[in-house]
Amino acid sequence: MATDEVINDRPPDGPGAPHANGGTPWPRPDGPATTTSTEPDEPVATTGAGPGGGGAAWPYDVVVVGSVNMDLVVRVDRRPRPGETVLGSDLATYPGGKGANQAVAAARLGGRVSMLGRVGDDAYGGLLREALERDEVDLRHLRPTAAPTGVAMISVGPEGDNSIIVSPGANARLSEQDVAESGDLLRSAPVVSLQLETPLPTVLAAARAARRVVFNLSPPAPVPDELLARCDPLVVNEHEAAMVLGVAARPHVQAEALLALGPRSVVITLGADGALVADASGITAIPSPRVEVVDTTGAGDAFTGALAWRLARGDSVAAAAAFAVRVGAATVRAAGAQSSFPTLEEVEGP
């Protein structure tokens, strides 16, 4: 039987350790809440200071509405054909989920991030809460649920490519009522980041409440025109773009076609080739640094989390995408999703 290894994503600095942008956002368990911010006073979230409670108001750069999963990862020399069994590596267990990944990516870079989602009242749910707390993501809106925590079963090939099957579990219980109860939080943030590992009606409700929507249309599925019209930007990779459009095409053609569907801007991620940004001003190609690929799991989520954070700071879509490409490139150099996400210092270098 394979060994089940739980991967810790961050050093044990914990709540109360200095945040990357200079404040101390969460109270230590053994002391009073203290909050120091180097940012302007708005937008301001509802009261409460994060995982440890507290009463101070705290401004969030990004609110992520989405999935929280445990990733079960096995490396294989090749994937089995139907009816075939192949041997793989020891089982590694990583915190994941597209929503949680984007939240951690933005927080690790220095963003103030709140997470709206659901986890099960099981062992995986507890571990995932701990992982998010280590990166100082606000969890006041991460609700426990009488359902299994979401799980992603991931096989990683010899070139670092992956195939994923997701069992949504508690993520499928995230509701429009949950969004309504967190409406002040969503309206307070410069950017709300969304994906499709939670129910579509919930995603649409969150988009309606948001000031600016970054929407990663993944996994790809039909979505209403109203949701597309609220995207600034819509974020997809080449394969997702082809599924949305119903036809494969060159990335520039895909970008133009997606923009014609109604979003204010479009970002297509291209892996080692970087990204394309399309908006009313035209199409901009963003090159990627060349790196040795170990594991691509979570790279798209790291890109989207970084993009959302930089947009919240006031960057243009093209400038935010240029930064996010570097974050994605740094991510693929290590195994796992959240465990591979870089800090701001690691992205910017010496």
Residue numbers in the known binding site for ATP are 237, 269-274, 300-301
Strand pairing report for 266-269 and 150-156: unpaired
Spatial contact of 25 and 31, defined as CB atoms under 8 Å apart: no
Task: Name the residue type at position 310.
Answer: R
Spatial contact of 347 and 318, defined as CB atoms under 8 Å apart: no
Query: By C-alpha distance, which of 61, 62, 51 is closest to 138?
Result: 51
End-to-end CA distance of the chain: 44
Query: By C-alpha distance, which of 74, 99, 83, 93 is closest to 162?
Result: 74
- Strand segments, DSSP code E, in 76-219 are 91-96, 113-120, 142-145, 150-156, 162-167, 191-194, 213-216
Binding residues: 69-71, 97-101, 197, 237, 269-274, 295, 297, 300-301, 331, 334, 336, 340
The secondary structure element, H or E, covering residue 311 is helix 299-312
Q: Give the CA-trace dihedral at 17, 304, 309, 234, to 10 degrees.
A: -160
Q: Which of 9, 138, 279, 301 is catalytic?
A: 301
Q: Residue with structure tokens 């999963």?
A: 69
In whole angstroms, what is the distance from residue 151 CA to residue 165 CA? 8
Query: By C-alpha distance, which of 154, 182, 180, 183 is closest to 167?
Result: 154
Binding residues for K(+): 295, 297, 331, 334, 336, 340
225: annotated active-site residue: no
Q: How many Cβ atoms from other residues are within 10 Å of residue 157's Cβ?
A: 15
Supply the residues annotated as catalytic. 301
